[in-house]
């Protein structure tokens, strides 16, 4: 992870403070990071697409470049808005080198007709946050289905892979191997 020094959690729109607290606690379990919270950003109506009833993820990700930070800190946006990207009907998150964004909208078990399950919901949020942060560090998708960097075609992929990097992805971003 080179000169990486921290992660700034950026609520975008209305985000339950419990989710921010979960991420502050969970992210350092995988990434040796100073995790702190910034002031929230508003959910900009200019990124809303009426015909889809969704927000353009790429636009919200670009908005994160306005967060004051040093060059070694990565902003992670968290929103409850349902997101899409140009070639995808929906996304759980999106990232580019140096910044990342997740949506909790489609991570809720209720979205799939399941009963509310706080443990599963937290697990999905944690997994997607680490996945998008991996992209922010420059990692591509991984072909190993158990690696957090595996592409999630559907929520079942997210549930199966969990928040851990495989050995190869850990090495690529400079994390020590697991014992």
Q: For 37-78, how does the pLDDT look when each residue is reduced to its tens digit (9 = 90+)? A: 999 999 999 999 999 999 999 999 999 998 878 878 999 999
State how beta strands 93-96 and 88-91 pair: unpaired
Asked if residue 1 belongs to a domain, the reply is: no
Q: DSSP secondary structure string, 133-173? A: HHHHTT----S-TTSTTS--SSHHHHHHH-SPPPHHHHHHT
pLDDT at 174 over 70: yes
Mean pLDDT of the chain: 93
Q: For a pLDDT cut of 90, what percent of the chain falls above it?
A: 87
Asked if residue 74 belongs to a domain, the reply is: yes
Asked if residue 158 belongs to a domain, the reply is: yes
Tell me what pLDDT residue 176 has: 83
Asked if residue 136 belongs to a domain, the reply is: yes
Q: For 115-160, how does the pLDDT look when each residue is reduced to its tens digit (9 = 90+)? A: 999 999 999 999 999 999 999 999 999 999 999 999 998 999 999 9
The boundaries of the domain holding residue 152 are 6-172
Which residues are marked as active site? Answer: 132
- The CATH number of the domain holding residue 99 is 3.40.390.10
pLDDT at 104 over 80: yes
What region, left, alpha or beta, does residue 117 occupy, with left being phi > 0 and alpha being psi -120 to 50 degrees?
Answer: beta
Asked if residue 139 belongs to a domain, the reply is: yes
As for how many domains the chain has, the answer is: 1
**3-state DSSP call for residue 77?**
strand
């Amino acid at each position: 992870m080179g000169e990486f020094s921290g992660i700034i959690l950026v609520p975008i729109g209305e985000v339950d403070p419990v989710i921010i607290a979960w991420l502050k606690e969970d992210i350092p379990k995988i990434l040796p990071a100073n995790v702190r919270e910034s002031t929230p950003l508003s959910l900009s109506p200019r990124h809303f697409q009426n015909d889809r009833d969704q927000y353009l993820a790429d636009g919200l990700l670009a908005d994160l470049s306005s967060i004051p930070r040093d060059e070694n800190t990565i902003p992670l946006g968290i929103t409850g808005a349902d997101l899409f990207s140009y070639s995808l009907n929906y996304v759980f998150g999106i990232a580019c080198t140096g910044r990342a964004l997740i949506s909790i909208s489609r991570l809720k078990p209720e979205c799939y007709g399941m009963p509310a399950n706080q443990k599963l919901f937290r697990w999905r949020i944690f997994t997607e946050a680490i996945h998008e942060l991996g992209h922010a560090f420059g990692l591509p998708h991984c072909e190993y289905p158990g690696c957090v960097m595996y592409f999630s075609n559907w929520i079942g992929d997210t549930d199966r892979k969990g928040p851990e990097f495989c050995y190869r992805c850990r090495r690529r971003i400079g994390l020590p191997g697991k014992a």
